[in-house]
Amino acid sequence: MKFLDLAKVYIRSGSGGNGSVSFRREKYIEYGGPDGGDGGRGGDVVAEAVDGLNTLIDFRYQQHFFAKNGQGGAGQQRTGKSGDTIILRVPVGTEILDEDEETVIADLSKLGDRVVLAQGGNGGWGNLKFKTATNQAPSKANSGQPGVERTIWLRLKLIADAGLLGLPNAGKSTFLAATSNARPKIADYPFTTLHPNLGVVGVDNAEFVIADIPGLIAGAHEGKGLGTRFLGHVERCSVLLHLVDGTSETVAEDYRAIIDELEAYGGHLADKPRVTALNKVDALEPEALAEAKAALEEAAQGRVFLMSGVSGEGTTQVLRAVRAEVTEDRIRQRKPDSDAEDDAPWRP
């Protein structure tokens, strides 16, 4: 299934039905009086965060959502039927923006969050509502209110506990595949991930979600490469894991390039807790490893972990460091293995 995190949608709520002008006509009843019913209410357009979705691909094939109009009133005080509500089912973490792509209408960050995007028009009054002591036979009724028509944008921001950052070919996909159940594309030639990937990792009987964000390059904030389009997916993360390619000849410059892009993007991304790791250490000689680590520590002004996504060296220590920065409300306790339960002695 293709990953889609931005979609343009056209919505329109239903118009209210018109009120009815009617009079009671029955045999032997001389003064029947007005009995026109009210019009039905137009249908609303609602967005709801549901489970089981992780992309906006459904909105690639359907961009128009129009609710039905309310039916008109009728005689014998019959009210028209209201229009049905249209529900836009979106993944958890979806932001709803106005047509300018800047004004946030709603942020559906929790399962079950719901917002009315376009309210249906009220139905018009029938002539029964206009009856007064001095106007016993009104021949007046209201028209229904028109619906609301608007254009909105849906932008998905993945709900992840930790974000994985680094230049292209820093080994992010390899690390995610080695430590989680995710299976991103990995090959023995240089390329960059084009779509974010999510993986659930476990360490010390705790589980959390890591998002692999496509690699940034210098000048991404100016639109170079994939730009900063996918950085919105790490805005909700508690911590950022910054991987640096240890085989690069410019380790410090590679680290600084990512930090500069985070600062240029804004949104307090540069202020989030970060764990820095030097990757691909299995491919370095001891002298080159020590030199690269010293250069990275000087650039990061903090601790640098050594790891290899291929051999698994140091990955547990990196995961523990990330786990320490993830807020407790995000951590999920790992379920006990079923094999351990089977090994227990039988009891009546």
154 carries a ligand binding annotation: no
Give per-residue pLDDT as tens, 139-178.
Answer: 999 999 999 999 999 988 877 788 888 888 778 778 888 8
331 carries a ligand binding annotation: no
72 carries a ligand binding annotation: no
Mean pLDDT check: name the lowest of 63-77, 117-131, 205-219.
Answer: 205-219
326 carries a ligand binding annotation: no
166 carries a ligand binding annotation: yes
171 carries a ligand binding annotation: yes
Q: Give residue 341's pLDDT.
A: 46
Q: Quick one: tokens of 3?
A: 């990953």
260 carries a ligand binding annotation: no
169 carries a ligand binding annotation: yes
| Cα 29 → chain centroid | 63
**Distance between CA atoms of residues 280 and 295, nearest Å:** 16
Mean pLDDT check: name the lowest of 41-45, 59-63, 317-321, 342-346.
Answer: 342-346
Q: Give residue 191's pLDDT.
A: 44
CA dist list (Å): 50 to 39, 61, 268, 318:
33, 19, 28, 33
Nearest to 17 by CA among 145, 160, 150: 145
Q: Kind of pairing, strands 64-66 and 94-97?
A: unpaired
| Cα 93 → chain centroid | 3
CA dist list (Å): 73 to 32, 41, 145, 215, 348:
18, 11, 14, 60, 68
| Cα 205 → chain centroid | 27
| The model scores a pTM over 0.75 | no
Other C-beta atoms closer than 10 Å to the C-beta of 153 total 18
Residue 20 φ/ψ, nearest 5 degrees: -105, 145
Which structural domains are found in the chain, ordered by start?
Answer: 1-156 (2.70.210.12), 162-333 (3.40.50.300)
Residue 48 φ/ψ, nearest 5 degrees: -140, 135
DSSP secondary structure, 248-282, as one string: -S-HHHHHHHHHHHHHHH-TTGGGS-EEEEEE-GG
**Backbone φ/ψ region at 28: left (φ over 0), alpha (ψ -120 to 50), beta:** left
281 carries a ligand binding annotation: yes
Q: Give residue 1's pLDDT.
A: 46
Kindly state the greatest CA–CA separation across the chain.
111
**Residue 296: enclosing H or E segment and its boundaries?**
helix 286-300
Q: Give residue 190's pLDDT.
A: 47
The residues with which 242 forms a beta bridge, in sequence order, are 165, 276
Give per-residue pLDDT as tens, 181-190.
Answer: 656 555 444 4
286 carries a ligand binding annotation: no
pLDDT at 105 > cutoff 90: yes
Q: Give residue 148's pLDDT.
A: 94
279 carries a ligand binding annotation: yes
Mean pLDDT (whole number) for 123-151: 93
pLDDT confidence band for 3 (50 / 70 / 90): low
CA dist list (Å): 233 to 46, 54, 198, 217:
24, 12, 11, 17
Mean pLDDT (whole number) for 69-91: 93
**Distance between CA atoms of residues 229 and 174, nearest Å:** 22
Quick one: DSSP state of residue 34? Answer: B
Question: Percentage helix, strand, coil, to 5, in the chain?
Answer: 25, 25, 50
pLDDT at 82 > cutoff 60: yes
Mean pLDDT check: name the lowest of 60-69, 104-113, 153-162, 203-212.
Answer: 203-212
193 carries a ligand binding annotation: yes
Residue 197 φ/ψ, nearest 5 degrees: -125, 145
322 carries a ligand binding annotation: no
Quick one: DSSP state of residue 23? Answer: B
194 carries a ligand binding annotation: yes
227 carries a ligand binding annotation: no
213 carries a ligand binding annotation: yes
**Backbone φ/ψ region at 270: left (φ over 0), alpha (ψ -120 to 50), beta:** alpha
Quick one: DSSP state of residue 92? Answer: T
pLDDT at 16 > cutoff 90: yes
57 carries a ligand binding annotation: no
Q: Give residue 120's pLDDT.
A: 95
170 carries a ligand binding annotation: yes
Alpha helices in 110-229 (DSSP H): 172-179
167 carries a ligand binding annotation: yes
In a 13 Å sphere around the CA of 107, the CA atoms on its Cβ side amount to 9
Nearest to 185 by CA among 164, 210, 204, 212: 212
